[in-house]
Amino acid sequence: MSDPRPFKIIGIKGMHCASCASIIEKTLKKTEGVRSAEVNYGTETAKIDFDESKTDLQSLSKKIEPLGYSLRLPTTATAEEMGMSADEHAAHLGLHQSKKEKLAELAGMKTKVISSAPIVIFSLFVMAWGILAQYGAVSPIPPSFENFFRLLLPLLATYMLFVVGKPYLLGVYRFFRYGKANMDTLIGIGTSAAYLYSVAVTVFEDALRSFINVEHTYYDVTIIVVAFITLGKYLEARSKLKTGDAIEKLLNLQAKTALVVRNGQEQEIPISEVAHGDMLVVKPGVRIPVDGIIVEGESFIDEALVTGEPMPVLKKQGDFVVAGTINTNSTFTFKATKVGSETLLARIIKMVEEAQGSKAPIQALADKISSVFVPVVLALSFIALGVWLAVGTQYLGFSQALSLGLVSFVGVLVIACPCALGLATPTAIIVGVGKGAKEGILIKDAATLEKLHKVNVVVFDKTGTVTRGKPELTSIKNYSKQTDAEIIGILASLEKKSEHPIAHAITEYAQTNGIAIFKTEYFEIIKGKGLKGTIHEKEYFAGNAALIADLKLSFDAARFKQETKEGKTPIVLATAEEVLGVVMVADAIKPEAVEAVKKLHALGIKTVMLTGDDKNTALSIAREVGIDDVVPEVLPEDKLNKIKELQRIGKVVAMAGDGVNDAPALAQADVGIAMSTGTDVAIESAGITLLHGDISKLAKAIMLSKMTMRGIKQNLFWAFVYNIVGIPIAAGVFYPLFGWMLSPAFAGLAMAFSSVSVVANSLRIKAKNL
């Protein structure tokens, strides 16, 4: 089966900052055959739409390889051919490096950090001693120690720059070779300038003594900046690994093997070999391998990790079961109906991955700034150096002006951080979408998540959203000496032979509550009125008030007038001599609906219910649930017009429906929310999908959106403030007024932790309760 998507989502290796994303995106877009390309730094992925007759993924990868990047090309077959094991699925979608590969990369970074630690500690010690000695806080460094330090520091700086700092030097090389600059380029130029200046002073000390202060070198700056930036990259990579753990958890839900019945024998096979129509046996405590229908047995299924439903659900013959859920207590056999990438779990994983890789509109400004950030900062660093030399020399002399100019030059290059801007939105989106999936809230893309936090009106379809969508027995009035269970048992025994939906409601109630159903003889349908049959040699009648009137029994139908107005249907059970009882059947309100509406009201959101029911039924349900406004007797096109009407008066509207007859209204709403109650639902079609049809998740979805957007705005605020304040201080703008000058070593520390702080703030979303 070919991939129906008009684009490919593929992982990228070698990305280190938001500017990398901009470079890759521009390069891909200029390639012949590429219609569009969108690169996400947060997920390290590219979404590429290209003409396969003109180019392919291998050619596209070669285009960016000279710049230090490459596409992570899938090397295995498609998910349909393979089944859906965790590693295979990840390879099929090409969205992430394998966990093993990322951990290996992290281990390499950790080794660099550990090897740098003693060198940095020594450099900080020497730096601190020199500064404190200037202010008389400690005695000066003895000449013998100073000579030793002057010999050792160049060696340590050389190791740090050419071994630990190799990626930054490669950034400088690619800048001069291809004209593409990223954050590595800035760090590389800054630390190389400090290192080369120091080497020149060390080698040509006597020749330069009359021009500059040869007592001062910047080896310590090279060492400390490279070390802090490397530490920051390590912490950032480790934190980013945690932001995407929702996908890993979903992948881990997939069973690796299945117990299939072939030729009358049970045999364990890899998940990839399961085919449509296979009969699979699932034992207690085992994960269900694929989607299917139970053909024999029953059991309680724990669906918590897939749908967010907290309690195990009873599944019996004819019921759907879903891959990744856990069989808790009994063995059953089911027929495989969906395998590989067709399963609900596979579709959820794909949807979550695509949503995490999508861009929110709020990210547009940060992306624009990131795309020009590095060239602008590079220009600012040379301007700062030029101004210090041109203006500073007049007031401070050439030697001091050069020293301060070099500090400013390196400081500007080092402190400027496009990464914080680049990570501000995607890390929060990744965490928010992942948290939603864990709660059974599937979010189609980042734009939907952003729009959802602005919603001020939620419109509900009644059937299947506020109500269960099928008739249920809601109450019983018993006029006999028999127990309620006996009355239900007799009714269910009669109704079992009927195909009417109301009959199904009564028999299902009896089965669910363990009420015995008896054999019925002489069964007969009384057209338009009900039915009759004999149980234990006693004739019983079940039907409406007209049937009871025909039997000439005393029955006051008026007492049920109010309940009938509310949309409930009375079913009367009687013998030829007396009325035994009345049960009310209705499309019952979901137990969580009342609480869901209360939570929406607490968020300041108005609620509206649209229904095709008559006015009395609609008003009754709206009153019971607490819905603000109700529009009864509407057709599907009327629902669409109501959405448009609300939008015309400036409302931001979310529409919650079953996604079938509500499709036009769901599409028109600012956010369409589908109530998923089965495995066949098209979860890809709605902006938000609430698994298990749980309306209580609606308020949670809006709260999640508000929480995520708050995190994004906080991230963007601090990322902008950090750069707006940090760059001028590093450039020495405040030196003439306040004497403020920022050491490049501290600039490196600040830059390193700016990215880490943004990721850490996004991770806070995971810990918050919805």
Catalytic residues: 461
Give burial (CB, 10 Å; 0-12/13-18/19+) of 518. Answer: middle
CA distances from 748 to 225, 366, 375 (A): 5, 22, 19
Give burial (CB, 10 Å; 0-12/13-18/19+) of 110. Answer: middle
- Which residues are CB-neighbours of 96 under 8 A, at least 6 positions away? 11, 43, 44, 45, 90, 102, 244, 247, 353
Kindly list the strands in the beta sheet with 530-535, ordered across the sheet, starting from the edge strand earlier in the chain: 467-478, 579-589, 569-574, 538-543, 530-535, 521-526
Look up residue 377 and give its amino acid: V
Give burial (CB, 10 Å; 0-12/13-18/19+) of 310. Answer: exposed
CA distance 583 to 572: 7
Look up residue 168 and give its amino acid: Y
Long-range contacts of residues 81-84, Cβ cutoff 8 Å, at least 24 apart: 81/272, 81/340, 82/272, 82/340, 83/270, 83/271, 83/272, 83/273, 83/274, 83/339, 83/340, 84/254, 84/271, 84/272, 84/290, 84/323, 84/339, 84/340, 84/341, 84/343, 84/345, 84/346
- Which residues are CB-neighbours of 678 under 8 A, at least 6 positions away? 320
CA distance 657 to 676: 9
Strands 629-631 and 606-610: what pairing?
A: parallel
Q: Say if CB 559 and CB 553 are below 8 A apart.
A: no
Q: Say if CB 593 and CB 622 are below 8 A apart.
A: no
CA distances from 693 to 440, 596, 630, 711 (A): 10, 12, 21, 28
